[in-house]
Amino acid sequence: MRSSFNIALATIFVLLWFTSMSLPTARSASPVDGAALYGAACAACHGSDGRGRTPEQLGFDLPLPDFTDCSFNSREASADWFTLTHEGGPVRAFSPIMPAFGSALSREEIEAVVEYTKEFCTDASWPRGELNLPRAMFTEKAYPEDEAVLTFDYASGGADGQSTLIWEKRFGARGQLELILPFASAQDAAGERHHGIGDIAIGTKYAFAHNFQGGRIWAVGAELALPTGDAQRGLGNPDAGGELYLAFGQALPSDAFIQSRLLVEGPLRSSATQEAALQLVVGKTWIAPEYGRSWTPMLEIIGNRELEQGVDGEWSLVPQLQVSLSLRQHVLLSIGASLPMDHRDRRDTRVLAYVLWDWYDGGLSQGWRKE
């Protein structure tokens, strides 16, 4: 047990050291004139001011985005804008009215145009899409998002499990609200299995600091769980619970990243035992050739400990793989397992999965094939 703790602790220090040694550096100024290229290649449709020309001016009814709207401009990373500019709209199941410029402009020229287009958002309080790092199984990301996530967490032996629907709504530049609706399954001492709604929770998150050039973002969050599950049947807790956490994300070179979260949770009664947890995940994203699917393997380290003297902590390793399903990459699947590093006599391996829908990028039926 102590050796498991030492391994986990050593791994955390190595990852944190790697983060401090591998911070992204600011990009040097490009010799390519992005403004001139935008005026020559993009302004005819998107307007010299970035607001998009009217259907009457364009001759087609497709509404064009407003690049000055930071809620739209800031969400996606520059690499995604590069893909659309290089390959055209159909590469991500958007309209073919968006042409491909890959044969007309060099890579450096397209990058310069994209960065110029990003500058139409003049409100620096909006974190850039590069800081929207992939979602891990447990480690809450610091970036605020509009997502719906259906998660699955079941013991390999089938003793208990839970499916959870999470609805996240971003508000403003940095805030997020979420509703958490769990459906639990538990087996009592007599071997009878019970199913039902678990403890419904509401949460909020606020990204209080971010640095695009440094590739890092910080957030604080809170969650309130209501005792809606049947505690006698093992579907919930008898008392309301609360959670407070600090989340951190760090983008690394070559689409690698590290995210971490420190949280305290437990029943709201002052006499009840509270629990602290440390969560840390490292991963890297690969894009299939020809701008295909994204593949993101991740490894999480999870440590939990009750805040009482003489109580041992518990550590788990969580290997997982996230892959994009839709052509637009707004629907993702992740599968993994939670492997106990200690107390294996009383802790089961757990099978984990989720399906994520970034609903801001389109409906569930959209973005699956080229138009």
> What is the pLDDT at residue 301?
97
Give this prediction's pTM: 0.90
Query: Using one digit for the tens of pLDDT, what is the confidence trace for 26-45?
Result: 444 557 899 999 999 999 99
Q: How far apart are CA 95 and CA 20, in angstroms?
A: 42
Residue partners of 167: CB distance under 8 A and separation at least 6? 148, 178, 179, 181
In a 3-state reduction of DSSP, which class is residue 100?
coil
What is the gyration radius of the CA atoms in the chain, in angstroms? 23
Neighbours of 257 (CB within 10 A): 23
> What is the pLDDT at residue 32?
86
> What is the pLDDT at residue 157?
74
- The b/e string for 200-210 (b: 16+ C-beta within 10 A; e otherwise) is bbebebbbeeb
Among 94, 27, 53, 60, residue whose Cα is nearest residue 367: 94
Q: How far apart are CA 171 and CA 179, in angstroms?
A: 14
> What is the pLDDT at residue 25?
44
Q: Tell me the one-letter amino acid at 198.
A: G
- The b/e string for 327-355 (b: 16+ C-beta within 10 A; e otherwise) is bbbbbbebebbbebbbeeeeeeebbbbbe
Q: Which DSSP letter does residue 255 get?
A: G
* Residue recorded with tokens 């295909």: 292
Q: Which DSSP letter does residue 64 get?
A: P
Query: Using one digit for the tens of pLDDT, what is the confidence trace for 36-82?
Result: 999 999 999 999 999 999 888 888 888 899 999 999 999 999 999 99
For the chain, the domains span 2-9+127-361, 34-118
Residue partners of 150: CB distance under 8 A and separation at least 6? 163, 164, 165, 166, 354, 355
Q: Looking at the domain that runs over 2-9+127-361, which CATH code has it been given?
A: 2.40.160.40
> What is the pLDDT at residue 142?
98
> What is the pLDDT at residue 17?
53
> What is the pLDDT at residue 22?
47
Spans of the chain below 70 pLDDT = 1-30, 270
Q: Please, are residues 353 and 334 in contact by the beta-carbon 8 Å criterion?
A: yes
Q: Looking at the domain that runs over 34-118, which CATH code has it been given?
A: 1.10.760.10
Among 90, 104, 130, residue whose Cα is nearest residue 42: 104
Q: Please, are residues 147 and 168 in contact by the beta-carbon 8 Å criterion?
A: yes
Q: How far apart are CA 105 and CA 311, in angstroms?
A: 62
> What is the pLDDT at residue 14?
52
Instruction: Report how far apart, in Å, the C-alpha atoms of 17 and of each of 10, 14, 110, 274 are.
Output: 11, 5, 35, 30
